[in-house]
Structures are given as structure tokens and as C-alpha cells.
């Protein structure tokens, strides 16, 4: 094996080791890459001058119209999370379904789906529902494992249900890879994969997960009724005003997603509509101007974190390619027995394992630019289907230990009677459900491709 390829492998190993040691992701990606670039140049494995392309790449990232949607979707999500809409929805849904065994669990899943479609931020949804629903579920006798697992899984719907921020960055990275693959095959008028395609492709898989979660809770209500008791009528919160509580988030969902799916607005334009809509919905609340500043600060922090990771990943990708890592990965995938299906399966497994030590954004920025061009050159692989498969796989990374962010969010807001063990054990059935949904999508790709085909004819 050439020295350059050995260095490429060692660079990946060094990044994973540094991440497991607890170093910041963006700085780890940039620092390790820079160190290997210096060493690679010293031993003649690569030329340090390749880093001259970095400023232009960073400029391209900062002026990317698609990525401009990120801060506005984040602002929309944070504003809705702080505005009290989620609390009202949870109270009304709890009153409506509380008479059923598992009713509070159904409420969490349904409100989680609504919040996912109106905020797109896993952390905000997990914290909000954890603070409100976990104490209520404990008070009415729910099994702490089932309660924690239900809240965690419902929060991760924000990862797959549009307008997910991860779908925005995945769409941008996947489009670059798709065009690169077509150019390598001699097509100089390449087709594009837009964020709108992924939003449309994610709708049915997202609904599938909601149905599977509800089915699991219904099964638990039958098989282990003591784990999810009904709430006595005298103790149930009021369900009146449910339609009024639903109107605002549903109207926002229709305005944002509807305008994207029907081609009225680009995702960036729709994100602006969503941000303004969230402002208008929150403006009626007392103390709105005191609320605005922390929302802007939180939006800035999350946006800066994402873009810093992207810049670090850009440097990593540049050095990895200069060391021949790209060609090594492409060759390995091309020569796998089993063809395209085996290659996709290996990539899915690798992304699943990386989820134990890396965040979804980091996997998108580091892994997708390396493996997606090779996969999309293979016959029979639809880019939208591949993107949704990756998105659902990354959704699992939000929940599985040891670094699933949702587990830490819940640990921080859970009442004392819910232990870390309860959280970690409680998510196991829901991780299994997510893997089942991934398997269904593998065998029924039309779940991801039918709606984009119907809307855009691609």
C-alpha cells in the first residue's frame, strides 16, 4: 500500500481517537488534518500547496444559498421552542388521549411529529418535551424506561421530518457528490438533487416512523398495561382549545413545507417565511422583546457551531483527497462482492458505527463527500433514496450510546426518579424500530422516491 494511503487511514484513526478523548470536533478535524498535511509534505506523500484551495472553498461555503436556510430554520425552531406553543400542544393532546392506556405516550409522539415539522431541531424538541412530559408521565405511573424512550424517540423525528436542518446540509453535500459523479462519467450537463427533493422524499419515511412508534405504544398498552396506565378523568388536563392550539403550528408547517414542495419558494425563501412566521406567532406573548435576544444568541451559537464543523471538515476532505484517500475508498467500494447493494450496506454500517463517536453533522460533512460520489457512479442507486437512507441512519446516531445527543439532553432535564440507566435501556426498543424502518426503506425504495417523482417528475 502506498505511503499516502497509509497516511490517509492513519488520519481517520487519529480523528476518531481525538474525538473519543473529548476534543472539540471542528478543531480536531482541522488540527489533525493540518498536522498530516505538514507531515505528508515532509515525506513527499502530498504537496502542502494543495491547502491554497482552502480559502476559496471556505468562501464557497459562506456564500452557499442553500446553507443560508440553516440560520433561519434554526431561528424558527428556537423561537417556537421558547414561545410556549409546545407546552400548550402537549397539555391539550394529553387531555385528549389521556383516557387511553398509553395515551400520554401517543400525545408525546404526535406532538413530537408536529414540533419536528415546525422546528427541525432535535435538541429543542427533546428539552421541551422532557421538561414538560417526563414529570407528568412519572406522576401518573408510567414505566420510567418507556417514558424516557418515548420522549427521546419522538424528539429525534426532527432529524428526518422536514424541515430538518440535517436534511438541508445533507442535500447540499449530496448534490455536490451527485454532480461530481456525473462529471466523472462524462456528463457535462449534470442533473441536480435539491433540498426540496430530500424534503419530499423524507415525508413518507417520517410518517412510517410515527406509525411504528404509535404501534409499539399500543402493543405495550395491551401486553404491559401497568407500564402506561390511563389517566383518570378528574386528573386529566383540559383538552379544550386543541384546534386553536393546533392552528398556529399547522399553519406554519403548511406555509413552509407547502411552499417548498409545490415549488412556490426555494428552501431558503421558505426558511425566511418560517422565521417571520415564528416571530409573528411569538409577538403576541408577554415579554416578547426580552425573549428575542436569547433566541438570537442561541441561533448564532448553533449556526456558528455548524459552520465551524463544516470548515474543519472541508480541510479534512481536502487533505484526505490529496493523500489519495478518495481513490482508495472508491476502489474498495467498487471491488466489494455483491456490487452496489453491498457497497451501500457497508457505507450504512460504517455510518451507524461512526454515530457512536460522531455527531450527525460531522458524519455528513466528513463521510458523505468521500463515499457518495463512488456510490452514485454505480448503477441502480437513486440519489434521493440514498439521501433518505443516510438521513434515517443518522437519526439513530442521535439516540444510541455513548454519545447520542438526545440522551444527554434528557439526562439534563429528567426528574430524579429517571436514572441514566432508565434512559439508556428505554431507547433500545426505539432504536430497533428505527432499524426496522431503515430495513423497510431498503426493500421499498418507493417510500422515498414516489413523492419526489410525483411532484417533480425526477
3-state secondary structure 227-239: HCCCCCHHHCCCC
pLDDT at 234: 41
Query: For the chain, what is the largest distance between any 2 Cα atoms, rounded to a whole number of angstroms?
Result: 77
Q: Are the beta carbons of 80 and 86 closer than 8 angstroms?
A: yes
Residues 110-153 have pLDDT tens digits of 888 887 777 666 776 777 778 777 888 888 888 889 988 998 88
Residue given cell 481513490 in the structure block: 327
Assess whether pLDDT exceeds 60 at residue 253: yes
DSSP state of 415: -
Total number of domains in the chain? 1
Residues 379-411 have pLDDT tens digits of 888 899 999 999 998 888 778 766 677 777 787
Assess whether pLDDT exceeds 60 at residue 239: no
Q: Are the beta carbons of 159 and 202 closer than 8 angstroms?
A: no
- Written as one string, the DSSP assignment of 1-28 is --HHHHHHHHHHHHHHHHHHTT--HHHH
Residue with more model confidence, 220 or 73 = 220
pLDDT at 1: 66
Mean pLDDT of 79-104: 73
Number of Cβ within 10 Å of residue 63's Cβ equals 9
The three grid cell numbers given for residue 212, joined into one nine-digit string: 411504528
Assess whether pLDDT exceeds 90 at residue 438: yes
The three grid cell numbers given for residue 232, joined into one nine-digit string: 383518570
| Domain hosting residue 233, numbered range | 3-456
Task: Mark 118-146 as b/e (b = at least 16 C-beta within 10 Å).
Answer: bbbbbbbbbbbbbbbbbbbbbebebbbbb
Shortest CA distance to 154 belongs to which of 119, 118, 114, 95? 114
Give the global pTM: 0.82
How far apart CA 194 and CA 65 sit, in angstroms, is 12
Assess whether pLDDT exceeds 80 at residue 218: yes
How far apart CA 357 and CA 44 sit, in angstroms, is 32
Amino acid at each position: 500500500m502506498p505511503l499516502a494511503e497509509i497516511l490517509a487511514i492513519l488520519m481517520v484513526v487519529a480523528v476518531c481517537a481525538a474525538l473519543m478523548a473529548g476534543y472539540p470536533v471542528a478543531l480536531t478535524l482541522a488540527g489533525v488534518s493540518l498536522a498530516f498535511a505538514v507531515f505528508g509534505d515532509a515525506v513527499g506523500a502530498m504537496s502542502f500547496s494543495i491547502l491554497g484551495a482552502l480559502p476559496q472553498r471556505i468562501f464557497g461555503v459562506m456564500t452557499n444559498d442553500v446553507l443560508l436556510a440553516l440560520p433561519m430554520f434554526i431561528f424558527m425552531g428556537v423561537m417556537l421552542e421558547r414561545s410556549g406553543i409546545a407546552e400548550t400542544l402537549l397539555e391539550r393532546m394529553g387531555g385528549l388521549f389521556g383516557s387511553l392506556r398509553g395515551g400520554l405516550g401517543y400525545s408525546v409522539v404526535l406532538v413530537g411529529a408536529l414540533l419536528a415539522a415546525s422546528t427541525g431541531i432535535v435538541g429543542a424538541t427533546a428539552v421541551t418535551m422532557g421538561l414538560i412530559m417526563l414529570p407528568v408521565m412519572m406522576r401518573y405511573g408510567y414505566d420510567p424506561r418507556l417514558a424516557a424512550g418515548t420522549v427521546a424517540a419522538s424528539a429525534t423525528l426532527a432529524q428526518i421530518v422536514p424541515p430538518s436542518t440535517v436534511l438541508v446540509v445533507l442535500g447540499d453535500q449530496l448534490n455536490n457528490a451527485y454532480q461530481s459523479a456525473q462529471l466523472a462519467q462524462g456528463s457535462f450537463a449534470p442533473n441536480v438533487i435539491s433540498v426540496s427533493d430530500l424534503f419530499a422524499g423524507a415525508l413518507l419515511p417520517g410518517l412510517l416512523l410515527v406509525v411504528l412508534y404509535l404501534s409499539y405504544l399500543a402493543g405495550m398498552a395491551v401486553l404491559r398495561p401497568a407500564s402506561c396506565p390511563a389517566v383518570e378523568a378528574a386528573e386529566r388536563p383540559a383538552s379544550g382549545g386543541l384546534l386553536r392550539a393546533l392552528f398556529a403550528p399547522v399553519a406554519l408547517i403548511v406555509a413552509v413545507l407547502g411552499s417548498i414542495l409545490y415549488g412556490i419558494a426555494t428552501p431558503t425563501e421558505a426558511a425566511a417565511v418560517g422565521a417571520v412566521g415564528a416571530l409573528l406567532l411569538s409577538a403576541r406573548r408577554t415579554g416578547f422583546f426580552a425573549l428575542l435576544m436569547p433566541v438570537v444568541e442561541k441561533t448564532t451559537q448553533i449556526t456558528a457551531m455548524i459552520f465551524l464543523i463544516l470548515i474543519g471538515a472541508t480541510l479534512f476532505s481536502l487533505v484526505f483527497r490529496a493523500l489519495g484517500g478518495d481513490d482508495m475508498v472508491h476502489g474498495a467500494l467498487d471491488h466489494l462482492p455483491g456490487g452496489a447493494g453491498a457497497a451501500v450496506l457497508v457505507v450504512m454500517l460504517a455510518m451507524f458505527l461512526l454515530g457512536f463517536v460522531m455527531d450527525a453533522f460531522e458524519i455528513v460533512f466528513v463521510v458523505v463527500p468521500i463515499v457518495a460520489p463512488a456510490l452514485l457512479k454505480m448503477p441502480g442507486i437513486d440519489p434521493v433514496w440514498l439521501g433518505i437512507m443516510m438521513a434515517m441512519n443518522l437519526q439513530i446516531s442521535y439516540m444510541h450510546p455513548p454519545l447520542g445527543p438526545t440522551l444527554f439532553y434528557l439526562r439534563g432535564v429528567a426528574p430524579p426518579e429517571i436514572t441514566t440507566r432508565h434512559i439508556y435501556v428505554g431507547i433500545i426498543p426505539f432504536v430497533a424500530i428505527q432499524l426496522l424502518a431503515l430495513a423497510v426503506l431498503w426493500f421499498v425504495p418507493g417510500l422515498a422516491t414516489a413523492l419526489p417523482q410525483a411532484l417533480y417528475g425526477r
